[in-house]
């Protein structure tokens, strides 16, 4: 069972950020396994079990990221990431263009939520068509998100707005991606087992948004495209 992160977790990640080289990492690999990788995998296993038990029909599968960067995509950066994350998603889907639940730990913060980082333009066109046809279902999701106050809607905005359906849905209508994210400092619940419950309850509140995004991606294209 997940027991929480520790001060050594953030200390290691800060150290890796400023000493991103193989010799430093190998000298501190035991710290990585004990204070970062171990608790992250324990949290991932616990949340996967609890989400699967609560929502068996979602068919979620867990994937924990590697600390190593892809050597083909270093672009002048060090060989290691200074953060670690895991996702729960439908098996066999691409990571970036389909919705997933996520948790990430970094030196200065941790974050969790649900969304997709590279939604196809067609999916966003479907979203706009849904709002144009009947905005009420999306308004219900937007109001639930605002009422809870835990998550922020994120994603790159179009440089030229696609339209204006009103202040509530304008941020949904004019984004290239949709992600619902909660960012918090590494303090308080971060250091105890209650973090698992916090993330679990947040994810549960986003299940309607997850189902809606999957239905949106799978639905037919708008007739005017």
pLDDT in tens, the chain (225 residues): 899 999 999 999 999 999 999 999 999 999 999 999 999 999 999 999 999 999 999 999 999 999 987 655 556 567 889 999 999 998 876 666 789 999 999 999 999 999 988 888 999 999 999 999 999 999 999 999 999 999 999 999 999 999 999 999 999 999 999 999 999 999 999 999 999 999 999 999 999 999 999 998 887 766 654
Query: Order of strands, edge to edge, in the sheet holding 152-154?
Result: 61-64, 84-89, 100-105, 109-116, 178-185, 152-154
Q: What are phi and psi of 203, to 5 degrees?
A: -60, -45
Q: Could you tell me the sign of the dihedral formed by the alpha carbons of 41, 47, 52, 53, in that order?
A: positive
8: number of Cβ within 10 Å: 13
Total residues belonging to the chain:
225
Q: What is the pLDDT of residue 9?
A: 97
Please choose, from the candidates 12, 47, 80, 71, the residue with its C-alpha nearest in 3D space to the C-alpha of residue 195: 47
Instruction: Enter the pTM of the model.
Output: 0.93
Measure Cα distances from 39 to 36, 66, 83, 149, 161 in Å: 6, 14, 13, 27, 42
Q: What is the pLDDT of residue 78?
A: 75
Q: What is the pLDDT of residue 223?
A: 60
Q: What is the pLDDT of residue 218?
A: 81
Q: What is the pLDDT of residue 91?
A: 83
């Amino acid at each position: 069972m997940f027991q929480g992160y520790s001060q050594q977790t953030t200390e290691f990640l800060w150290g890796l950020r400023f000493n991103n080289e193989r010799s430093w990492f190998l000298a501190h690999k035991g710290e990585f396994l004990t204070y970062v990788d171990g608790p992250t995998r324990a949290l991932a296993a616990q949340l996967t079990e609890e989400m699967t038990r609560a929502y068996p029909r979602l068919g979620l599968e867990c994937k924990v990221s590697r600390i190593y960067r892809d050597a083909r995509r270093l672009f002048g950066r060090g060989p290691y990431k200074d953060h670690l994350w895991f996702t729960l998603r439908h098996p066999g889907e691409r990571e970036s263009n389909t919705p997933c639940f996520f948790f990430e730990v970094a030196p200065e913060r941790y974050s969790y939520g649900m969304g997709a980082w590279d939604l196809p333009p067609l999916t966003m066109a479907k979203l706009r068509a849904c709002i144009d046809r009947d905005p009420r279902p999306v308004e219900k999701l937007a109001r639930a998100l605002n009422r809870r106050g835990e998550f922020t809607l994120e994603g790159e905005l179009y440089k030229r707005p696609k339209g204006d359906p009103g202040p509530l849905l304008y941020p949904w209508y004019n984004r290239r991606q949709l992600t619902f994210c909660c960012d918090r400092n590494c303090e308080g619940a971060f250091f105890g087992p209650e973090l698992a419950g916090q993330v679990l309850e947040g994810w549960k509140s986003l299940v309607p948004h997850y189902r809606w995004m999957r239905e949106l991606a799978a639905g037919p294209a708008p007739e005017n495209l």
